[in-house]
Amino acid sequence: MAATAGPPGAYERRSTSDATGCALLGVCAAWTLITAGVQGGQPEGVLLAVLAVAAGYAGGRICGALLPVAAPCAGALVGVGLAAAAPELSPDPVSAAPLGHTGATAALLILASGAACSAAWAARSPATRLAMRLLAVGIGVTALVLGSMAGAVACTGILLCSLATALMRRRVPGLAGLALATVVVTGLTWAIADDTLPEGLSASLKGQLDGYRVELWQDALALTGQEPVLGVGPGRFADSSPTVAEQLLTDGKPHSALLQQAAEQGLVGVILLAAVFCWLLYALYRSPRSTQVVLSAGAALTALAAVASVGNALSLTAVTTGAGYLAGIATARPLGDETVQVRPPGAPPWTAGRE
């Protein structure tokens, strides 16, 4: 079934979505400079991350329009290669699991898996589609070989979610479920740091984490309470954290994107971070691509958000660039025809490219 142009005004709505994303990224950069100017700090890292997301998204839109299958396939292969080299991509000291670069490795493999699944649904040929799914399976196996259990579980989940989208006609319930999953994971992270969970559940969750990480989260939450609006300044968590000061070998980060944003840029920074993620989901909703491509990419971005909530994944520029690239591919309008939907058996035909 060939892609259709969509309902009247679809182009204008996508343009509005793009403008909203540009504005949000600009506000994130501006807020980083404001907090750095008032509180001091090093805003370069956050500004680089914002630039990486924007550049990746733009590159994904271009490559996804020109090469809707080859672009995500190439991205998946690059992601696997970077994951294998992840410990060498950052100057920070490599800590023992589950700290260190395990989160970055898992994040790169998650993005690679999402790209492979998206390429599978964009492919017309059954042989190509099978090859892309075998690549996704291989990425999960690679995660096990690299010792990233979180990556292996996430890649398996992404593949299963991607296969399940064959039975889905509408993308709204899927995107809503992904948003809910992100809220649950980030909420649990905040609750663990605040020690507000029931004792049994808290002990079970903390048992999956090392005590050092939980102490970092508690420091981040304490710093947020001291400076709830502006935070302590970008890049200044290490200067203000008692737990970091007691360690000889540390990268000086709280290993949670949510809590690092709260500690260094205040609750306003948290709201902006959440707004960017919501914008990505909205851009996927407005995407002219098929529901299967959209939800495969959305599952990968949700898994990335979960890993970033409990790890240090977003500190690697390759991860933020890859996230933008995957989102760009999933929201690009291919120049040629594309398979739009895989209609569930017995379902009535539809007339619009976006459901």
Q: d(Cα 205, Cα 256) in Å, to the nearest integer?
A: 15
Distances (CA, A) of 29 to 48, 79, 118, 265: 9, 26, 30, 11
First to last CA, the chain: 14
Q: Is residue 351 part of a domain?
A: no
The pLDDT-based confidence of 164 (bands split at 50, 70, 90) is very high
Instruction: Decide if 276 is inside a domain.
Output: yes
For the record, the structure tokens of 292 come out as: 């299967």
Res 213: pLDDT: 85
Quote helix, strand, coil % in the chain, to nearest 5.
70, 0, 30
The lowest-confidence range among 6-10, 190-194, 328-332 is: 6-10
Band of residue 341 on the pLDDT scale cut at 50, 70, 90: very low
**Does residue 339 lie within any of the structural domains?**
no
Q: Residue 166 sits in which domain range?
A: 10-331
Q: Is residue 1 part of a domain?
A: no
Q: What is the pLDDT of residue 76?
A: 97
- The pLDDT tens digits for 99-145 are 335 688 899 999 999 999 999 999 999 999 999 999 999 999 999 99
Asked if the structure places residue 354 within a domain, the reply is no
Q: What is the value of pTM for the model shown? A: 0.88
More confident residue, 122 or 343: 122
Please identify which residue in the block is written with the tokens 């994951």.
Answer: 83
Single out the residue of 240, 259, 281, 235 nearest to residue 49, CA to CA: 235
- Specify whether the CB–CB gap between 296 and 118 falls below 8 A: yes
Lowest-confidence range among 9-13, 65-69, 112-116, 327-331? 9-13
Q: Whole-angstrom Cα distance, residue 160 to residue 158?
A: 5
pLDDT > 60? residue 92:
no
Answer whether residue 186 shows pLDDT above 80.
Answer: yes
Q: Given a cut of 90, is residue 321 above it in pLDDT?
A: yes
- pLDDT at 1 exceeding the cut of 60: no
- Structural domain tally of the chain? 1
Q: Please state whether 118 falls in left (phi above 0), alpha (psi between -120 and 50) or beta.
A: alpha
Residue 4 in any domain: the answer is no
Q: Is the pLDDT of residue 337 over 80?
A: no
Q: Do the domain assignments include residue 192?
A: yes
pLDDT of amino acid 99: 38
Band of pLDDT at residue 200, cut at 50, 70 and 90: confident
Indicate whether 290 belongs to any domain.
yes
CB 120 within 8 A of CB 136: yes
Q: Report the pLDDT value the prediction gives residue 244, as an integer from 0 to 100.
A: 83
H or E element at residue 150: helix 149-164
